[in-house]
Amino acid sequence: MRNNKTNLRNAVKVVVDMMLLVASFYFFVYLKAGHRGALLEAYHRDFWIFAGIWMVVSVYFDKYNFKDDPRMKAHLKPVIVSNFLIVGLISIVVVLFDNVDLSRYLFFGTAGLVTILELALAFLRGLISKTATGGYALESDDLHLGAEPFGANFVGPSIDASSAECPSEEVIYQAIREESGEKVLQYLCGNLKIADPMTTVLATTTRFNLVNIPRNRYSTIVNLRKINDIQRINKFFETVNTRLPLGGFFAGCAETYVMRKERILRRYPLGLNYVIYTSDFIINRICPKLYVTKNIYFMITRGNNRLISKAETLGRLYSCGFVVVKADFINGLFYFIVRKVSDPAYDFHPTYGPLIRLKRIGKGGKIIGVYKMRTMHAYSEYLQKYIFDQNDLQDGGKFADDFRVTTLGKIMRKFWLDELPMIFNLLKGDMKLVGVRPLSKHYFSLYTPELQELRTKFKPGLVPPFYADMPNTLDEIMESERHYLEAYARSPFLTDWKYFWKSFFNIFFRKARSH
């Protein structure tokens, strides 16, 4: 009965919204032309394209779902997010399709007026809900079940948190099954001691439940909610780390951007699905990374439903003191089980934007910041050991099957566009024109002690001896660098002159590339 009532309310919201859309469009047609005939006929088809996109996006972002919630953001956020995306989608449609000539005045005017009216109604609904509940709101994200306050064996909807008895094994299994499905239950049970008293299972997107868990109370923490909806992911992971003993386990999940793309392309009709995916990628993937838009993005979305890659997910975990034990794709989500091996790095300057500054070993063993354009997903620098353990080095000394590299990054690497910012290092004096590559600590550790010592006697360079000798294996690369460094020690200018022109010839005439 309650579901029928809720569905009726949702249907009423759809009808009211469409009425507001049509009325607003007519209003701006009247302001533009003073009459409706010719102008309505000219824009009749394009308006219904506009209305169709408006409805699809609104449904996708749950704008029409009735919410009896006293929190004002629960009512205002779906309106702001969906309408912002609609404006972006329509703008893309207008640019891409020449036969769509909807007036910008009518389009922006209609969208703006409907947004104002929707926000007013949402605000009114929020006030009514707040009055009806006395202003109290239970966070729907954070569900509790267990014997101890804030230290429950499971966080779920089925049991009163004040119960004096711990939940039974079957109650825990059923709660996980209802939250995440049978496959996830089997995955967790096959890899962790889920029903053990030293295991706590959560379903939360807030640090609140974690902060109140006593330190070292549990050896395993499981969270069933996606990290995509956690506003400050690293703070969440860091809090998990502080609650676990050394060697403790943490399990969680994420929807990677590849999985999100597949879901959107399956859900919507051909054509519209790519428009929605492109807009989703721009808003939820690019905007959080740009300096000029990230604060606005997090203010509006509170970090919910953001796009995140597999590499970024694992990289954040490694930066917070964990190593991967197991990782699998289940039910359209990426599940991971990690083990605590150290305290978090507390990196306040992660490589997150398009221009990055990587920590590399320079002359005298000093750590220098090498500037490059991003070609890998965020936090990928923390995964070098993981990638090395999972994959062999390919010809040229790079990692084989390196999922950290983005599609755009592969193109940039092919034409050396990613290395152009290293000119700043050349001007600063950290690097010279010709010389061995500046290496990360992990890659540097693969070299022999003798070559490590020899390397740190000189500045690294923009043009490495690799392009002159074109070695294949790591051993050949080390031999090439040793030969160059010994020659440079004897005759610096002549050695760099020789290596520069030999590298130039190989790059431009023999199409030499660093794989």
pLDDT at 159: 33
- Same domain (yes/no): 294, 228: no
Task: Kindly calculate the radius of gyration of the chain based on its CA atoms and give it in whole angstroms.
Answer: 28
Alpha-carbon gap, residue 374 to 45, rounded angstroms:
43
Alpha-carbon gap, residue 423 to 287, rounded angstroms:
27
- Same domain (yes/no): 10, 97: yes
Residue 222 maps to a domain: yes
In the chain, the number of structural domains is: 4
Mean pLDDT of the chain: 80
Q: What percent of the chain has pLDDT over 90?
A: 36
Per-residue pLDDT reduced to its tens digit, 163-174: 335 567 888 899
The β-bridge partners of 405 are 376
For residue 209, the surrounding DSSP H or E stretch is helix 208-211
Average pLDDT over residues 466-482: 91
Residue 143 maps to a domain: no
pLDDT at 7: 64
- Same domain (yes/no): 94, 67: yes
Average pLDDT over residues 229-240: 92
- Same domain (yes/no): 326, 188: yes
- Same domain (yes/no): 359, 438: yes
- Same domain (yes/no): 439, 381: yes
Coil/strand/helix, residue 381: helix
Residue 430: alpha-carbon gap to chain centroid: 32
Residue with tokens 């860091």: 238
* Choice between 154 and 86, residue whose per-residue pLDDT is larger: 86
For residue 462, the surrounding DSSP H or E stretch is strand 461-463
Residue 483 maps to a domain: yes
Residue 253's nearest CA partner among 225, 284, 279, 219 is: 225
> Which of 114, 133, 152 represents a domain boundary (last residue)?
133
Per-residue pLDDT reduced to its tens digit, 272-323: 888 888 888 888 878 877 777 777 777 777 777 888 999 999 999 999 999 9
Which residues form the domain of 294?
Answer: 258-301
Q: Which of these ranges, 71-75, 287-291, 385-389, 507-511, has the smallest mean pLDDT?
A: 71-75
